[in-house]
Every structure is written in C-alpha cells, then in structure tokens.
C-alpha cells in the first residue's frame, strides 16, 4: 500500500500544481484531522477536523496568493507518506514573491484515505516523526 499512497499524494500535488484548487479532497477521510499548529500565521495554526474544515483552511490560505508553486519529494514511511516541500508564492494584492522555503507534510493513510495530516516547519523534525531519521 505504501507505493500506492505515494502515488495518490503525487497525483494530488500534480493536479494542484496544474491549477486545481482542491488539493486531494477525494483522498480525505470524512473524519480527517489536519494539524496545522506549526503554521506561521497564528490565526490558522490550529487542528482542523473534517473535510469541510480542511477545505475552509485551504480556501482562506490560498485566497491571499495569486500563485503557489513548489518542488517536492515523497518518501515512504509505511502507512504514512512524508512530503518534503520547497515552496514559493506571489501575493494576490501585492504581487510580491515570497519564499516559504523548506517544510514538510506527513500524511497518515488508512484504507486508501488520509486520516491524519500534519505540517512541520522543519524537515528534520518531520523525518524524525516519520521514523526516517536515525
């Protein structure tokens, strides 16, 4: 299943990068938990529960950006997929380019759906959490 999960995340990333607005909503378990507590914007740095709450977070965050682009690497972590991400964006109202830099998302799958999703500001911490760092 781990390679299948990697391909599911890769597909969602590629659809988003091609202009899709709903990142992988079809991959989310109805009771998904999105832990954004390490998000740099304090008002958004909470735990979101359920698909509608996750969609609301992303709609609010993406509304500020004209473009969002990133490179990524996906790593197998058993029933989890670790995404190492390097992201940049352009402000919708300012046109200013912003580099978020390197961060990570860790997706936990059950029965082909994401049941838990956590953001990490630091890729080292994410690698450790995924059990991929000694």
Q: How many folded domains does the chain comprise?
A: 1
pTM, whole model, 2 decimals? Answer: 0.92
> Is 7 inside any structural domain?
yes
Give residue 51's Cα distance to chain centre.
Answer: 14
Query: CA nearest 100: which of 58, 65, 125?
Result: 65
Q: Give tens-digit pLDDT for 38-67.
A: 988 888 899 999 999 999 988 888 888 899
> Is 99 inside any structural domain?
yes
The domain in which residue 55 lies consists of: 2-129
> Is 134 inside any structural domain?
no
> Is 35 inside any structural domain?
yes
> Is 66 inside any structural domain?
yes
Which pLDDT score, from 0 to 100, does residue 46 have?
Answer: 94
Q: Which residues of the chain have pLDDT under 70?
A: 1, 21, 134
Which pLDDT score, from 0 to 100, does residue 62 have?
Answer: 86
CATH at 83: 3.10.450.50
Which pLDDT score, from 0 to 100, does residue 1 have?
Answer: 55
């Amino acid at each position: 299943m781990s390679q299948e999960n990697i391909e599911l995340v890769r597909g969602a990333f590629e659809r988003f990068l091609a202009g899709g607005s709903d990142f992988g909503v079809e991959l989310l378990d109805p009771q998904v938990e999105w832990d954004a507590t390490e998000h740099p914007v304090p008002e958004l740095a909470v735990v979101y529960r359920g698909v509608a709450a996750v969609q609301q977070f992303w709609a609010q965050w993406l509304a500020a950006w004209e473009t969002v682009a990133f490179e990524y690497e996906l790593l197998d972590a058993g029933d989890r997929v670790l995404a190492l991400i390097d992201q940049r964006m352009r402000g919708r109202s300012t046109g200013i380019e912003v580099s978020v830099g390197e961060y990570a998302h860790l997706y936990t799958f059950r029965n082909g759906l994401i049941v838990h999703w956590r953001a990490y500001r630091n890729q080292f911490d994410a690698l450790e959490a995924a059990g991929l760092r000694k």
